[in-house]
Structure 1
Amino acid sequence: MAFVTLKDMGSNFHRLERFDGGDFVRWQRKMHFLLVTVKEYYVIVNPRPLEPSESEEESVAKTRERLRWDQDDEICRGHILNGMFNTLFDAYYTVKTAKELWNQLERRYITEDATSKRFIVCKFFDYKMVDGRSVMEQFNEIKSILDRYSQHKLALDEFIVVTSIIDKLPPS
């Protein structure tokens, strides 16, 4: 069984592309994976443990659970903020919890992803291959566009894809 050190986990976050406002779904999936890896994602899906009422006496275990959740929430929030470019970091730094931050990002950028779906469709249908570049290089660009279709859960009939690619071939 391999043990993962904090240094190793930190290096994984270093490899994450910083979110610049584009392709939110991809960044969100990578961030989700990393937060699960460091066991911090639970603060986004689980509510904070409740404070005891004045008439109740809280057990030490409940106090520790709440304090641990608070600490993990701050770490999770920090990881999410650290995964952003400075301009977005500055815009979202004041959000208090990781869950609020995650939800605000989803509300803002999932809507923009709908427009990016339109952009991807247009990019595929407007793409033209040229003579001056390698066919394989251009094919890989088309494949990359089509991979983004699947990332956005867009379906395109195989016959249409093949026909479109043939139409995109240069005259030579």
Structure 2
Amino acid sequence: MSNVKEMTSKFGKLEKFEGVDFRRWQNKRHFLLTTLKVVYVLSTSMPEHRDDETMEEARNCLKWENDDYICRGHILNGMSGSLFDVYQNYDQSAKELWNELESKYMAEDASSKKFLVGNFMNYKMTDSRPVMEQYNELLRILGQIAQHKMEMDESISVSSIIDKLSPYWKDFKHKLKHKKEELSIV
């Protein structure tokens, strides 16, 4: 039990959702909820209580309700203060909350896809900053593109990055472009 407590305290330090990068936040929360073994409440409905239910069925209902409470709490705990204030008073299950967040913020993510592609396509390296710093920035943008489940052929990515090198790197650019073997992002 102390391992779960220790793990949960570390997950509490995850960045809070502030209304942007929903996909990234959602993936991190999903991982946390999976680790805590409560993620199933996001895809299953609450079992119905019946008058003639068995002891086992009653236990399953109570377990689901408890796991839903834990799941909902971790979703709310992962939000910034202002978003927490908005969603804490909704009388809904973790599944309903998760679906509501998904429908609201995934639409906003669609416009951010265009923004990310534009950021990558229009990125220009400069001589005033270290090339590795700029390369890592491009990798971060490509990582965000991948998080949105948009695929880009690696050879196109590599070629684009080479083209983004500053004019100062002209000879190196030419050398890389004319290599016979395929280059990877790494």
Shift of 1:110: 1.0
What does 1:62-101 align with in structure 2 at a 5 Å threshold? 62-95=57-90, 96-101=92-97
The TM-score with structure 1 as length reference comes to 0.89
Aligned partner of residue 126 in structure 2, secondary structure: coil
User: In terms of mean alpha carbon deviation, does 156-165 or 25-34 score higher?
Assistant: 156-165
Aligned amino acid, residue 129 of structure 1: M
Task: State the 1:114 CA deviation.
Answer: 0.7
What is the aligned partner in structure 1 of residue 29 from structure 2? 31
Q: Secondary structure at the match of 2:12?
A: helix
Structure 2: segments with no counterpart, 5+ residues: 169-186
User: Residue 47 of structure 2 corresponds to which residue in structure 1?
Assistant: 49
User: Greater RCO between the two (CA within 8 Å, min separation 6)?
Assistant: 1
Task: Name the CA distance, whole Å, in 1 between partners of 2:125 and 2:55.
Answer: 67
Shift of 1:4: 6.1
Asked if 2 retains the 8 angstrom alpha-carbon contact of 1:35 and 1:41, the reply is yes
Q: Distance in 2 between matches of 1:58 and 1:39?
A: 25
TM-score by length of 2: 0.83
Unaligned 5+ runs, structure 1: none
Q: What do residues 86-126 of structure 1 show as CA deviations (whole Å, max 9, x unaligned)? A: 11111111232100100001101111111111011000011
Residue 47 of structure 1 aligns to a residue whose secondary structure is coil
Partner AA of 1:10 in structure 2? T
Q: Which residue of 2 aligns with 1:164?
A: 160
Mean alpha-carbon deviation: is it higher for 125-134 or for 77-86?
125-134
Letter of the 1:45 counterpart = S
User: Is 1:143 aligned with 2:147?
Assistant: no
Indicate how the Cα distance of structure 1 residues 91 and 47 shifts in structure 2: closer, same or farther if over 3 A, else same: same
Aligned match for 2:123, one of 120, 127, 130: 127
Tell me the equivalent position of 1:8: 6
Q: Post-superposition, which runs of at least 4 consecutive aligned residues in structure 1 deviate over 3 A?
A: 157-160
Q: How many residue pairs were aligned?
A: 167
- The CA deviation string for residues 18-43 of structure 1, in whole angstroms up to 9 with x for no partner, is 11111111111111111011111111
- Alignment deviations for residues 36-82 of structure 1 (CA, whole Å, 9 cap, x no partner): 11111111111111121xxx423222222212211111111000000
